[in-house]
């Protein structure tokens, strides 16, 4: 037995695709497949837009070995100042793109799978950001820290104090005046 | 089809084996079969409203999982482009070899993970979004041809992507027959049987 509203909708979809029996069969097979993978269909559909929204925001997929090596190489060849500036400016762009601290936090959590812990907490005029990743190299940590600083700066927060060491970014910001 | 209309419920006929498996799954989750099936159909309708079907959505999800497991990450495109362009100018082939070797690693990984590694790699290119807008593949017993379009990619990154694809396809048991590479356009033709020594193109 199925709820009548759902059954009607399913009937309508099935009528455009073939027989109801085949459509129901297909849907239930996929449900069993998801179950076999230890997934809920809802979470699969929720994640459906991850790749698209990442792409729309200007992120691209790269094997981590390549990006970590490339960044290290670029840091050595192009210079620390140049690379820090590039990551900071890119972070600023993302801050302006998301326009909202919670949205930015959500996107970092969703897109950066190599981060094991990412948290932004607010208390009065202060924002504390913690980012942990066992995979980050020292160089990558420094640059990613600048990326985060740039984003929060564009969102109206100025860095107050911070600690950055391999795989650990801990930054404290204060709301800038006039924002 | 068998439908018994009541005021609020309808009967939908479904294969017995699937229903049994769904009953087990519903039990495991502590739900009634009725509620469990309702949730499934809600998601099927949601997928339809996204102009997709559940199979496609699950396929894409699996690719995302492969990317995660294989260690691929999202990175800002501008940073990648800038770094690649600058480093490529002074590159002695290291960068090209790195992309090729990473491609080979992906090929080996997919062979371990999938019963149909070539199909899995094609899907990875098509849905894994290496900034490729279009990936078309022609395949027969003699050859395997890729045509990849990426209007956003620079010349340098196009070359590196080509090396990545070549690396993967080589480790899947093919050798390169022909290739063309312009900014944002890659065309590669392979035939089965691996070369004794596979090296990326380093003439560019």
pLDDT tens digits for range A143-169:
999 999 999 999 999 999 999 999 999
* Full residue range of the structural domain in which residue A18 is found: 4-39
Q: What is the pLDDT of residue B52?
A: 83
**A34 and A54 belong to one structural domain:** no
Q: Which residues contact B120 (CB under 8 A, 6 or more apart)?
A: B66, B110, B113, B114
Whichever domain contains A125, its CATH number is 3.90.1520.10
Classify residue B199: in a domain, yes or no: no
Write out residues 164-203 of B within 8 Å (CB-CB) of A: none
Tell me the C-alpha distance between B107 and A112, whole Å: 23
* Full residue range of the structural domain in which residue B30 is found: 16-51
The residue ranking higher by pLDDT, B60 or A103, is A103
**A56 and A139 belong to one structural domain:** yes
Q: What is the pLDDT of residue B201?
A: 56
**A31 and A69 belong to one structural domain:** no
In the predicted model, what is the mean pLDDT of residues B150-163?
A: 89
Classify residue B200: in a domain, yes or no: no
Q: What is the pLDDT of residue A22?
A: 87
Classify residue B56: in a domain, yes or no: no
**B45 and B112 belong to one structural domain:** no
Classify residue B201: in a domain, yes or no: no
Classify residue A45: in a domain, yes or no: no
Q: What is the pLDDT of residue B203?
A: 40
Tell me the C-alpha distance between B72 and B127, whole Å: 14
Classify residue A123: in a domain, yes or no: yes
Contact between A110 and A95 (Cβ < 8 Å): no
DSSP string of B103-141, one letter each residue: HHHHHHHHHHH-SSHHHHHHHHHHHTTSS-SEEEEEE-S
Q: Does B171 have pLDDT greater than 50?
A: yes
User: Which pLDDT band holds residue B8 (cuts at 50, 70, 90)?
Assistant: low
Q: What is the pLDDT of residue A158?
A: 96
Domain count, chain A: 2
User: Which pLDDT band holds residue A178 (cuts at 50, 70, 90)?
Assistant: low
Q: Does B6 have pLDDT greater than 70?
A: no
**B187 and B88 belong to one structural domain:** yes
Q: Do B130 and A29 touch (CB under 8 A)?
A: no
Q: Which of A57-61, A156-160, B42-46 has the highest mean pLDDT?
A: A156-160
Q: What is the pLDDT of residue A90?
A: 95
In the predicted model, what is the mean pLDDT of residues A55-80?
A: 88
Q: How many residues does this entry show for chain A? A: 179
Q: Does B48 have pLDDT greater than 70?
A: yes
**B137 and B183 belong to one structural domain:** yes
User: Which pLDDT band holds residue B202 (cuts at 50, 70, 90)?
Assistant: very low
The residue ranking higher by pLDDT, A51 or A174, is A174
**A21 and A95 belong to one structural domain:** no
User: Which pLDDT band holds residue A2 (cuts at 50, 70, 90)?
Assistant: low
Classify residue A100: in a domain, yes or no: yes
**B33 and B129 belong to one structural domain:** no
Q: Which stretch of DSSP H or E encloses residue A85? A: helix A80-98
pLDDT tens digits for range A109-124:
988 988 999 999 999 8
Q: Do A114 and B73 touch (CB under 8 A)?
A: yes
**B36 and B116 belong to one structural domain:** no
Whichever domain contains B173, its CATH number is 3.30.1380
pLDDT above 70 covers a percentage of chain B that reads 89
In the predicted model, what is the mean pLDDT of residues A60-79?
A: 88
**B31 and B132 belong to one structural domain:** no
DSSP string of chain B, one letter each residue: ------SSEE-----HHHHHHHHHHHHHTT--HHHHHHHHHHHHHHHHHTT--HHHHHHHHHHHHHHHHHTEEEEEHHHHHHHHHHHHHH--SHHHHHHHHHHHHHHHHHHHH-SSHHHHHHHHHHHTTSS-SEEEEEE-SS-EEEEEE-TT--HHHHHHHHHHHHHHHHHTTEEEEEEEEETTEEEEEEEES--SS-------
In the predicted model, what is the mean pLDDT of residues B28-57?
A: 87
Tell me the C-alpha distance between A172 and B14, whole Å: 57
**A32 and A55 belong to one structural domain:** no
**B88 and B28 belong to one structural domain:** no
User: Which pLDDT band holds residue B5 (cuts at 50, 70, 90)?
Assistant: very low
Q: What is the pLDDT of residue A1?
A: 57
Q: Does B1 have pLDDT greater than 50?
A: no
As beta bridge partners, residue A173 has A127, A159
Classify residue A44: in a domain, yes or no: no
Q: Does B204 have pLDDT greater than 60?
A: no
Residues on chain A touching B54 (C-beta within 8 angstroms):
26-27, 30-31, 41
Classify residue B99: in a domain, yes or no: yes
Lowest mean pLDDT among B12-16, B42-46, B179-183: B12-16
**A62 and A125 belong to one structural domain:** yes
Distance, in angstroms, between B87 CA and closest chain A CA?
6
Contact between B80 and A60 (Cβ < 8 Å): yes
pLDDT tens digits for range B93-141:
888 898 999 999 999 999 998 889 999 899 888 876 667 889 999 998 8
**A75 and A120 belong to one structural domain:** yes
Distance, in angstroms, between A124 CA and closest chain B CA?
31
Q: What is the pLDDT of residue B200?
A: 56
Q: What is the pLDDT of residue B4?
A: 46
State pTM to two decimals: 0.78
Mean per-residue pLDDT of chain A? 89
Mean per-residue pLDDT of chain B? 84
Write out residues 85-124 of A within 8 Å (CB-CB) of B: 86-87, 90, 93-94, 111-114
Q: Which of B16-25, B53-62, B157-166 has the highest mean pLDDT?
A: B157-166
**A66 and A153 belong to one structural domain:** yes
B126-141 burial, b at 16+ Cβ within 10 Å, e below that, comes to: bbbbbbbeebebeeee
Tell me the C-alpha distance between B147 and A38, whole Å: 35
Classify residue B203: in a domain, yes or no: no
**A110 and A163 belong to one structural domain:** yes
Which DSSP symbol is given to A174? E
Distance, in angstroms, between B48 CA and closest chain A CA?
8
Domain count, chain B: 2
User: What value of ipTM does the predicted structure carry?
Assistant: 0.80
């Amino acid at each position: 037995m199925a709820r009548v509203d759902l059954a009607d909708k399913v009937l309508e979809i099935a009528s455009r695709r073939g027989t109801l029996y085949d459509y129901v069969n297909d849907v239930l097979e996929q449900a069993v497949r998801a179950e076999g993978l230890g997934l809920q269909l809802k979470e699969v559909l929720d994640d459906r837009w991850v790749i698209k929204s990442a792409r729309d925001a200007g992120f691209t997929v790269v094997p981590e070995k390549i990006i970590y090596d490339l960044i290290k190489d670029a840091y050595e060849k192009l210079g620390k100042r140049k690379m820090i500036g590039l990551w900071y400016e890119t972070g600023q762009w993302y801050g302006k793109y998301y326009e909202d601290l919670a949205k930015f936090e959500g996107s970092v959590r969703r897109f950066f799978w190599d981060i094991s812990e990412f948290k932004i907490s607010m208390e009065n005029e202060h924002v504390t950001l913690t980012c942990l990743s066992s995979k980050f190299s020292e160089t990558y940590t420094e640059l990613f820290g600048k990326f985060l600083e740039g984003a929060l700066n564009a969102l109206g927060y100025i860095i107050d104090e911070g600690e950055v060491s391999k795989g650990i970014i801990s930054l404290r910001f204060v709301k800038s005046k006039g924002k | 089809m068998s439908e018994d209309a009541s005021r609020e419920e309808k009967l939908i006929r479904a294969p017995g084996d699937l229903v049994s498996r769904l009953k087990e799954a519903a039990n495991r989750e502590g739900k009634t079969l009725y509620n469990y099936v309702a949730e499934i159909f809600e998601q099927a309708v949601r997928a339809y409203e996204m102009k997709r079907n559940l199979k496609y959505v699950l396929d894409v999800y699996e690719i995302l999982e492969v990317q995660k497991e294989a260690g691929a990450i999202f990175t800002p495109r501008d940073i990648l482009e800038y770094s690649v362009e600058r480093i490529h100018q002074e590159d002695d082939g290291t960068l090209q070899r790195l992309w090729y070797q990473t491609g080979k690693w992906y090929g080996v990984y997919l062979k371990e993970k999938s019963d149909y590694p070539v199909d899995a790699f094609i899907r990875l290119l098509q849905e894994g979004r290496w900034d490729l807008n279009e990936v078309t593949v022609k395949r027969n017993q003699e050859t395997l041809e890729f045509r990849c379009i990426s209007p956003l990619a620079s010349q340098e990154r196009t070359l590196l992507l080509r090396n990545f694809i070549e690396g993967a396809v080589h480790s899947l048991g093919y050798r390169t027959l022909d290739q063309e590479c312009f900014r944002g356009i890659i065309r590669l033709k392979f035939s089965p049987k691996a070369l004794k020594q596979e090296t990326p193109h380093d003439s560019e």
